[in-house]
Structure 1
Amino acid sequence: MKTVRKGAAGQLAAAVACVAIAAVGLTGCSDSVSEVDRAEAQVAAKERALADAQDAFADASGAFCEASRDYIDALDRYGDVLHDTAPTVGDVRVAGADLVKPRDDAFDGAEAAVEAQHDVVVAEQELAEAQAALAAAQAGPTGTPSVTAPAETPTPAPLVPAATVDRVEQADADFETAQDAVTDQTPLADASELFNSAVVALELAWLRLFADAGCLTDDQRVAAEAAVSAYTYALQQDLATAGYYAGTVDGISGPLTVQAIEDLQAANGLPVTGTVDKATAAALQAELVAVGGAAAQESLASTAAVQQTLKLVGYWDGPVDGVWTDALTEALQAFQVELGVEPTGTVDAATIAAFEQAIAELQAAAAEPTAEPTAEPTEPASE
């Protein structure tokens, strides 16, 4: 009996050891744990690891979007210092210093998101290897596995286009250069102009990065694209009127649009950045006024504003989406005929004045009280 009990105790100890070994690596204990069992356990573990990596990537992406939003807001507030106040050189430098922390947070968030994406790729490869091992175990020594392990870790697709990243890095370097160039002896006008052009370029670069990184909802993306299209179309029209743009006015910013902006800046002695800042916009408006261009009236220069105005006066039933079409040109020409101005199909100075007069008349008509109808006297009913 003692021998039997001793043998039972030994079997129990071996079983416990086998369970312990299986829990940490499923190695050994070949009598109770098969190759397939070990492979299945590895697949399950790698699936959990991949799910954890994907969750971490989602968290890192969300943190990056939040940090980017804060940085863009900070850049926008910085622009307000230059636009809405009479800043000193000290104001310009202090406002620039206030951007340091949100900038660092945004760049740190970007690095964390890239690292988390890499972890997902590694976890995907390890899962594929585990699945291949399971397929081999299930096929047996003479069978052919149905899954082949990847040869090497694939390079993850970039979170955003390389051109977008390059533009952010270049804009960031240009902004740092602008900061370093401003001292207490720098004339205020020079400091404001230098910083303004740099910060506008930097904000636009980060806005593109923000959109390309998937930080916008579908509705926000549609709205942003419509707004950008309307703005770009109006800008192209303005640049063409001023003689700087000879491409197609289509609301799509491309090399010709950037070149036109740079030519405008060079002609006016401004920093050549290819982006429209306060000084560039003022120079463009001044040239438009000089040539009698329609875009001197900024509120009516955009396609969306034209569409909305024509809709108010009953000449446009299409969408207000900032896209200029042949139908919009025809609607504008029809309204110009009604206004008694030359039907050019473009928003010129005469049309703007007529627009304003028509809108004023509509507003005045809407404000007039409606007279109550006078009830007709009724004859008394005959008895």
Structure 2
Amino acid sequence: MALVSAAVLLGGCTSGNPESALDRAEAQVAEKEKALADAQAAATETTDAFCTSAAGYVTALDRYGDVLTAEGPTVGDVSTAGADLLEPRQDVLADGQAAQEARKTVADAENALAEANATLANLQASASGSTEPSSTPSPSVATPVPVAPAESVARVKQADADFTTAQQEITDDTPLDEASEKFNAAAVALEVSWLRLVADAGCVSDEQLVQGQKAVLAYTTALQQSLADAGYYAGKADGVYGPDTVAAVEALQEAHELPVTGVVDAATEEALRTDLAAKGEAAAQSAVATTAALQQTLHLLGYWDGPVDGKESDALTQALKKFQTDLGVPPTGVVDAATVAAFEAAIAQAKQPEPAPSATASPVPAPSGSATPAR
């Protein structure tokens, strides 16, 4: 009986010992710190995997675009290439989901650590004789950081839906030469959208590359705004040269009795400028902004050393043709969907680091058969 009483007495003293409670709280903090470090390491690993699979998917899209522009392809070639996109698409979606779940785990670990630190702080305040141990501020709640901005994700989803719709319009009975510019633009828009998401997700850290991608966005956005100001484009100026942009260019060409190609050639550019000028000085500035964006893009790529003043010139046309030649795009001196995609790929290729044994994705290479522009 005495032994039992002593055991109970000792147990009671131990359970009420503030030093013991502090020890347990400190151990909890150490445990939560380790859990957070493990979660952060896992998040880095899954993000690297996402960057790698995203680069692989963009490369697959680029090969698909090559099929569309190659000489003598068949509908079967397009169907086969389309099937080849399925696996890399599934990979990047799965890796993106895993990366987002890993970031949620990081947020949960941050919250658990904050709670453990708050508990420890209250116990330390009690041990020091403070009469207000509960005065420690409540920890703020951490939320998961998205893999990429919501706007970039929405743009990819829209481009993916447009591409799927365009793809379904080609059947075994469709002559390949009837595949419209809209379909080609849908493939290019999807590739460009993913390239931008890769950059927004932090897979590419080079500052000049990021600036270059912003310049590409500025060019296409300015073109869309010009078409909107002229009354041909009703969509959002989102910087993606997709089917809606092509349709607006075609409407402009039809209105001026030009060949309806969906490509902004010299005659189409002049027609757009004429329409904008007729609407007043404010609208006319849209055309200047479009040309200035093109000058800035070519400057960042090393093809234009003239002023960024928004003025058309033979020298600017020649600079664009040189860029197109180096990238394997027909040197038309005009900007179409394929050239916009080449802009994106060239910026990435121009700043691509030397291969290293790292899981982190490097910028996506330029289209097949193209050369890196001279710097």
Relative to the length of structure 1, the TM-score reads: 0.60
Deviations 1:30-56 (A, max 9, x none): 669611111001001101111111111
In the alignment, which residue of structure 2 is the partner of 1:303? Answer: 295
Deviation (angstroms), 1:148: 3.6
Does structure 1 retain, via aligned residues, the 8 Å contact 2:199–2:210?
Answer: yes
Verify: 1:42 aligned to 2:28, yes or no.
yes
Amino acid at match of 1:225: K
In the alignment, which residue of structure 1 is the partner of 2:88? Answer: 102
In the alignment, which residue of structure 1 is the partner of 2:265? Answer: 285
In the alignment, which residue of structure 1 is the partner of 2:249? Answer: 264
Verify: 1:165 aligned to 2:153, yes or no.
yes
Mean Cα deviation higher: 125-134 or 186-195: 186-195
Verify: 1:176 aligned to 2:148, yes or no.
no
In the alignment, which residue of structure 2 is the partner of 1:53? Answer: 39
In the alignment, which residue of structure 1 is the partner of 2:314? Answer: 352
Does structure 2 retain, via aligned residues, the 8 Å contact 1:89–1:184?
Answer: yes
Deviation (angstroms), 1:185: 1.1
Q: Distance in 1 between matches of 2:292 and 2:70?
A: 23
Deviation (angstroms), 1:84: 2.8
Q: Which runs of 5+ in 1 are unaligned?
A: 1-6, 19-27, 247-251, 270-277, 317-323, 330-345, 357-383
Mapping of residues 5-84 of structure 1, within 5 Å: 34-84=20-70
The change in CA–CA distance for 1:128 and 1:353 in structure 2 (over 3 A counts) is: closer
Deviation (angstroms), 1:97: 0.7
The one of 195, 219, 225 equivalent to 1:207 is 195
Deviation (angstroms), 1:172: 1.6
CA RMSD, Structure 1 to Structure 2 (Å): 4.5
The change in CA–CA distance for 1:147 and 1:53 in structure 2 (over 3 A counts) is: farther
Q: Which runs of 5+ in 2 are unaligned?
A: 255-259, 275-286, 319-375
The change in CA–CA distance for 1:231 and 1:167 in structure 2 (over 3 A counts) is: closer
The one of 206, 223, 227 equivalent to 2:212 is 223
The one of 82, 103, 108 equivalent to 1:122 is 108
Does structure 2 retain, via aligned residues, the 8 Å contact 1:232–1:253?
Answer: yes
Deviation (angstroms), 1:130: 0.3
Q: Secondary structure at the match of 2:38?
A: helix
The change in CA–CA distance for 1:279 and 1:203 in structure 2 (over 3 A counts) is: farther
In the alignment, which residue of structure 2 is the partner of 1:186? Answer: 174
Mean Cα deviation higher: 285-294 or 187-196: 285-294
Does structure 1 retain, via aligned residues, the 8 Å contact 2:156–2:194?
Answer: yes
Mean Cα deviation higher: 65-74 or 200-209: 200-209
Does structure 1 retain, via aligned residues, the 8 Å contact 2:215–2:296?
Answer: no
The one of 92, 95, 116 equivalent to 2:78 is 92
Q: Distance in 1 between matches of 2:212 and 2:303?
A: 19
Does structure 2 retain, via aligned residues, the 8 Å contact 1:82–1:196?
Answer: yes
Larger radius of gyration, structure 1 or 2? 1
Q: Distance in 2 between matches of 1:73 and 1:354?
A: 30
In the alignment, which residue of structure 2 is the partner of 1:144? Answer: 133
Q: Distance in 2 between matches of 1:127 and 1:78?
A: 47
Identity percentage of aligned residues:
42
Q: Distance in 1 between matches of 2:161 and 2:72?
A: 26
Deviation (angstroms), 1:156: 2.6
Deviations 1:202-223 (A, max 9, x none): 1122122112111111332123
Amino acid at match of 1:160: A
In the alignment, which residue of structure 2 is the partner of 1:360? Answer: none
Deviation (angstroms), 1:309: 8.1
The change in CA–CA distance for 1:200 and 1:210 in structure 2 (over 3 A counts) is: same
Q: Secondary structure at the match of 1:185?
A: coil
Deviation (angstroms), 1:155: 3.6
Amino acid at match of 2:314: I
Deviation (angstroms), 1:60: 1.1
Deviation (angstroms), 1:187: 2.6
Q: Distance in 2 between matches of 1:68 and 1:40?
A: 42
Does structure 2 retain, via aligned residues, the 8 Å contact 1:114–1:159?
Answer: yes
Deviations 1:151-207 (A, max 9, x none): 8x5443433222221221222223223333322112323446454232122112212
* Paired positions, count: 281
Mean Cα deviation higher: 185-194 or 162-171: 185-194
Deviations 1:300-355 (A, max 9, x none): 9941588778858xxx6xxxxxxx3xxx47xxxxxxxxxxxxxxxx32xxx52899
Q: Distance in 1 between matches of 2:297 and 2:124?
A: 67
Q: Secondary structure at the match of 1:128?
A: helix
